[in-house]
Amino acid sequence: MSALTDKLEGFRRQLEELDVRLAGEALNDMKLYKTLMQERSHLAPVVEKLEEMSALEREMDESREMMRTESDPDLAEMAKEELGELEEKYRKAEKECRILLIPPDPLEGKNIIMEIRAGTGGDEAALFAADIFRMYTHYAEKKHWKIELMSSNETGIGGYKEIVLSISGKDVYGSLRFESGVHRVQRVPETESGGRIHTSAITVAVLPEAEETDIEIKPEDLRIDVMRAGGPGGQCVNTTDSAVRMTHIPTGLVVICQDEKSQIKNRAKALRVLRSRLYELEEAKKQKERADARRSQVGSGDRSERIRTYNFPQNRVTDHRINLTLYKLDSIMEGDLDELIDALKLAAGEEALKEA
C-alpha cells in the first residue's frame, strides 16, 4: 500500500465516522451538528482530491509499464508523452491538495460588515469611497450575495465620508477578508481643472458579522441617544428623531445609524454593527495569542496598512502585499475581482503551509 493510498484510507475513515455522528448524536445537538458539518465540508474535498491523485498514480504506473514492455517505438513514445501529461496533472493536484489540507479559518463561513471611509484627499477621497462601494456591490451581485446598507454619511456631490454595509452569502468572509486596509487612488479628480493627477486614500474594514451567541452585550453597558437624522436630503431628515447613536460604555465604541425612517430599525442595525466590532476586538486578542495569519505576506488586515493602488491613467491596479499588478482596472472597478482575490487566497494558503 502506497503512502498516498494509506493517507486516503485514513481520511475516508474519518469522513465515514463524521457521517455516522451526523446521522446520530448530532441530530439532537445543533451546535455539534454545525461543528461536524464544518469539519465535513473541509474533509470531503480533501478525500475527493486524494482519490483523483490515486487514480492518476494508477494511470502513471500503466504508462510506465507500457514504456517498459511495448515493442512498437511509436506506442512507447506515446506512452512517454502521456506520462509527462499525467505527471503534470499530478503535481497540480498535489499542490491543490496541500492547500485543501490547511485547516480552515473558523470565521471563513461568516457574513461580514464592511466599513468604507474616506481618508486623505477631501472630496476626491469621498468620491473614491463611493466608487469602491460600487465595485464591491458589483462583485457581490456576481456572486449572488445579499447586500444591506447599514449606515452612510454622504457628501452631497455623490461621495461618502463613510458607508457601512452588510454582505451575506456563501464564503463572503473567506473571499473578502483580505480587503481590509488602505486603498490608494491615483487619478485626475473631476474637480481638477488643470488635469493634474492627485493621490487620495480610503480605508476599508472587513468585520466578520457576529451572531448573538458569539458576543454578549449587556443592556447596562449601552448608552443609546436618539436624534434627528442629518445629511444632504431625504424625506425624514430633520423631521423625526429616528437616528440612533449607540455607545458601548466599557470600550467606548460608538455606532451611528440614521438611514432608516424607523428608530427601531436603526437601533437594530446599530446593534449588529456594534456586535461585529466587539467580536473583531475579541478575535484580535485571540490572534495575538497564536500564530497570526494576518502577519503573513498577504498583510496584517490592519486598516492603516496600504494594501492596494488604483492608477486610473495607466488602467493599473497593484496589490502591494503579493506584488501583483494587473492592467485591467476598468473591469476590476466593475466588480471583476476574482483574479485578485484568488491570488490573495493562494498566497495566504502557501504562507500557511510554510508556517505549518
The verdict on 12 and 80 lying in the same domain is yes
Indicate the average pLDDT of the chain.
85
Helix, strand, coil fractions of the chain, as percent rounded to 5: 50, 20, 30
State the first-to-last Cα distance of the chain, in angstroms, to the nearest integer: 26
The verdict on 168 and 182 lying in the same domain is yes
In this structure, the strands spanning 306-311 and 181-187 are parallel
Say if 67 falls within a structural domain: yes
The mean per-residue pLDDT over the stretch 350-354 comes to 72
Q: What is the pLDDT of residue 142?
A: 95
Q: What is the pLDDT of residue 353?
A: 65
The verdict on 298 and 201 lying in the same domain is yes
The mean per-residue pLDDT over the stretch 123-139 comes to 95
Domain ends where: 100, 134, 152? 100
pLDDT band of residue 128 (cuts 50, 70, 90) is: very high
The verdict on 326 and 204 lying in the same domain is yes
Instruction: Work out the percent of the chain whose per-residue pLDDT is above 90.
Output: 40
Q: List pLDDT tens digits, range 268-311.
A: 888 888 888 888 888 777 666 544 443 443 544 455 678 999 99
Domain ends where: 44, 68, 100? 100
Q: What is the pLDDT of residue 202?
A: 94
C-alpha to C-alpha distances, 352 to 98, 280, 293, 294, 355, nearest whole angstrom: 10, 21, 7, 10, 5
Does position 12 have pLDDT exceeding 50, yes or no? yes
Say if 105 falls within a structural domain: no
Domain ends where: 287, 306, 325? 287
pTM over 0.85: no
Say if 23 falls within a structural domain: yes
Q: List pLDDT tens digits, range 195-207.
A: 788 899 999 999 9
CATH of the domain at 348: 3.30.70.1660
The verdict on 314 and 335 lying in the same domain is yes
The mean per-residue pLDDT over the stretch 136-144 comes to 96
Domain tally for the chain? 3
Q: What is the pLDDT of residue 96?
A: 80
CA dist 344 and 216 (Å) reads 33
Does position 190 have pLDDT exceeding 90, yes or no? no
C-alpha cell at 230: 442629518
The verdict on 283 and 298 lying in the same domain is no
Q: Which amino acid is at 24?
A: G
Say if 29 falls within a structural domain: yes
Say if 107 falls within a structural domain: no
The verdict on 180 and 159 lying in the same domain is yes
CATH of the domain at 281: 3.30.160.20
Say if 214 falls within a structural domain: no
Host domain of residue 223: 219-287
C-alpha cell at 105: 479559518
The verdict on 202 and 341 lying in the same domain is yes
Say if 44 falls within a structural domain: yes
CA angle at 344 for the pair 339 and 350, rounded to the nearest 5°: 125
The verdict on 133 and 14 lying in the same domain is no
The verdict on 283 and 312 lying in the same domain is no
For 163, other C-beta atoms within 10 Å of its C-beta total 23
Q: What is the pLDDT of residue 134?
A: 97
Say if 315 falls within a structural domain: yes
The verdict on 151 and 249 lying in the same domain is no
Q: What is the pLDDT of residue 355?
A: 64
The verdict on 297 and 205 lying in the same domain is yes
Q: What is the pLDDT of residue 235?
A: 44
203 touches 129 (CB < 8 A): no
Of residues 78 and 301, more confidently modeled? 78
Of residues 219 and 352, more confidently modeled? 219
